[in-house]
Amino acid sequence: MSSSRNQALSALGQFLVADVPIGDTLQRVADLSVEAVTGASFAGLAMLDDREQPTTAVFTDEQAPEIDQAQYDTGRGPCLDAWRTRTTVRLDDLEEVPSEYQEFAQACLEHGIRSTLSLPLVTGDDGVGALNFYSPDKRGFSTDDEEVAQDFATATSAVLANAVAYWAAFDLAQQMTEAMRTRAVIEQAKGMLMARSDTLDDEGAFDLLRTASQRENVKLRDIALRIVHRQPIVEQE
């Protein structure tokens, strides 16, 4: 393996997903992949978007999503098959491909691409996407290229799994922080209500907040904030 490939794989292994957002993480992965697979002119990562539809979410050249759209439109293509079957799909000559790949092959040829290499991204038992390489040459990927690409796809899958786990945990932590803030402001509002009445206890103050929330169709936290800010919102009935 060349020193440039060793350096690319080493850089990927040392890349910390906690340092940047997941989109930046994946873009860095794509950039490194082109350095690692010398037969590739550019690369793209196919994943699901927020509508649960396949898309080329990250790419090193804008031609990648333009080419891939042909397979997304038809539901047929090498990266989709690599993703679904969790196996590598290599097309050495896009002028001679199976009939189900005709639309994809035509899109490739229109962009000057004559061979592709698609590898699945797998986390646990699930296929979560595909890493795709594009070459302007027929048989543009050597056996060594495919082996390096496979190692790189495995490393990419690990980075992706770690990134998703990190940001999911980050989102959860933010949600918990927000919940704690909500609880704090509600407790403060209850205390202020009880201070205004000698007969109102903790449960009664909460019921008063909840009734006002339902009556005005406003979140309980927003009702509590109004009281904390001394706005005349809740009146005891």
Q: What is the structure's pLDDT at 237?
A: 41
More confident residue, 40 or 177: 40
**184: CATH:** 1.10.10.10
Let me know the angle formed at the C-alpha of 152 by 148 and 158, rounded to the nearest 5 degrees.
155
Three-state secondary structure call for residue 154: helix
Q: Are residues 22 and 127 in the same domain?
A: yes
Instruction: State both tokens at 116.
Output: 């592709």
Last residue of a domain, one of 148, 167, 186: 167
What pLDDT is attached to residue 160? 72
216 and 142 both lie in a single domain: no
Residue 179 lies in a domain: yes
CA–CA separation, 145 vs 14, rounded Å?
22
Q: In this structure, are 179 and 81 located in the same domain?
A: no
CA nearest 26: which of 147, 154, 125, 157?
157
Q: Does residue 28 sit in the same domain as residue 133?
A: yes
Percentage, residues of the chain above pLDDT 90: 38
Q: What is the pLDDT of residue 234?
A: 44
Residue with tokens 């873009």: 27
Cβ atoms of residues 44 and 64 within 8 Å: yes
What was the pLDDT predicted at 206?
Answer: 86
Burial level of 234, CB count in 10 A (0-12/13-18/19+)?
A: buried
pLDDT of residue 177: 64
Burial class (CB in 10 A: 0-12, 13-18, 19+), 105: buried
pLDDT at 74 over 90: yes
Q: Residue 46 has what pLDDT?
A: 92
Residue with tokens 């009281």: 227
Domain limits at 88? 3-167
Pick from 59-73, 124-138, 193-207: least confident: 193-207
SS3 content of the chain, % helix, strand, coil (to 5): 60, 15, 25
Residue 67 placed within a domain: yes
Distance CA 134, CA 178 (A): 45
Tens digits of per-residue pLDDT, 111-152?
Answer: 999 999 999 999 887 888 999 999 999 999 999 899 889 888
Question: Contact at 8 Å (CB) between 132 and 146?
Answer: no
Q: Which CATH number do you get for residue 71?
A: 3.30.450.40
Domain count, the chain: 2
